[in-house]
């Protein structure tokens, strides 16, 4: 990446991080584009080089954060050569992602408030400008190298994401009805059941 490209990346990242902080602290509706650019220390015109409006930066922000979380789990998984089976790899990444979210509850709140499957599907295919693969490309790589065949990989991913997000939201934010570590064995057994349902015997 050249000096100019690196400068653009820094400005874009600064806008995203400023938006994240403001959306969390002030709320999405009470945050203006002027607030974001002032916090990021860039001109208002710079904002429109990267984003169409406030909704666009919110969408990019969630996609950006989701990619970072998934990328961290994927990268860590690759450092464990003993994880040779697809199911083991998926379970490792789910555990890693849940632990990341447990340490970043603000991200949980932001995603939960604005997430729909249509938007999340777009996030799965979102490719960061730094060239790292999209969430779905990472997932697809695991599927292609799996030790067995799975039908409807996208539907399987949707089922798992909905299962985890639906059961984990209150657990992560409020430790209700139980804590995360208590939930994990039950949740992971259920995820393994989903994987078996989609596996082609």
Say how many CA atoms lie within 13 Å of 119 toward its Cβ. 16
Angle between helices 54-78 and 135-144 (to 10 degrees): 30
Residue with tokens 């909704």, as numbered in its chain:
55
Q: Which residues of 40-76 are buried (b: 16+ CB within 10 A; e: fewer)?
A: bebeeebbeebbeebeebbbbbbbbbbbebbbebbee
- Over residues 83-96, the pLDDT tens digits come to 999 999 999 999 99
| DSSP 8-state code for residue 112 | H
Is residue 73 scored above 80 in pLDDT? yes
Lowest mean pLDDT among 15-24, 53-62, 124-133, 189-198: 124-133
Q: Output the pLDDT for position 171.
A: 94
Task: Give strand ranges (E) for the chain.
Answer: 149-150, 199-200
Mean predicted confidence (pLDDT) in 129-146: 86
117 band by pLDDT with thresholds 50, 70 and 90:
low
In which band, very low, low, confident or very high, does the pLDDT at 53 lie, cut at 50, 70 and 90? very high
Look at residue 127 and tell me whether its pLDDT is greater than 90.
no
List, in order of start, the domains of the chain with CATH numbers.
1-51 (1.10.10.60), 55-200 (1.10.357)
């Amino acid at each position: 990446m050249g000096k100019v490209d690196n400068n653009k990346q820094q400005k874009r990242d600064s806008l995203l991080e400023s938006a994240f902080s403001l959306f969390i602290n002030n709320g999405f509706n009470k945050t203006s584009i002027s607030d974001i650019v002032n916090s990021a220390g860039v001109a208002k015109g710079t904002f429109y080089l990267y984003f169409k409006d406030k909704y666009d930066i919110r969408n990019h922000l969630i996609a950006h954060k989701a990619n970072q979380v998934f990328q961290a789990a994927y990268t860590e998984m690759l450092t464990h050569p003993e994880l040779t089976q697809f199911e083991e790899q998926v379970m490792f990444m789910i555990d890693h992602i849940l632990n990341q979210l447990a340490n970043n509850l603000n991200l949980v709140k932001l995603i939960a408030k604005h997430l729909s499957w249509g938007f999340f599907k777009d996030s799965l295919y979102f490719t960061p400008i730094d060239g790292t693969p999209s969430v779905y490309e990472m997932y697809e790589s695991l599927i292609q190298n799996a030790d067995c065949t799975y039908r409807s990989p996208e539907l399987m991913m949707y089922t798992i994401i909905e299962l985890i997000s639906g059961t984990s939201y209150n657990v992560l934010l409020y430790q209700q009805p139980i804590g995360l570590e208590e939930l994990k064995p039950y949740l992971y057994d259920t995820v393994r059941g989903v994987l078996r349902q989609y596996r082609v015997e």
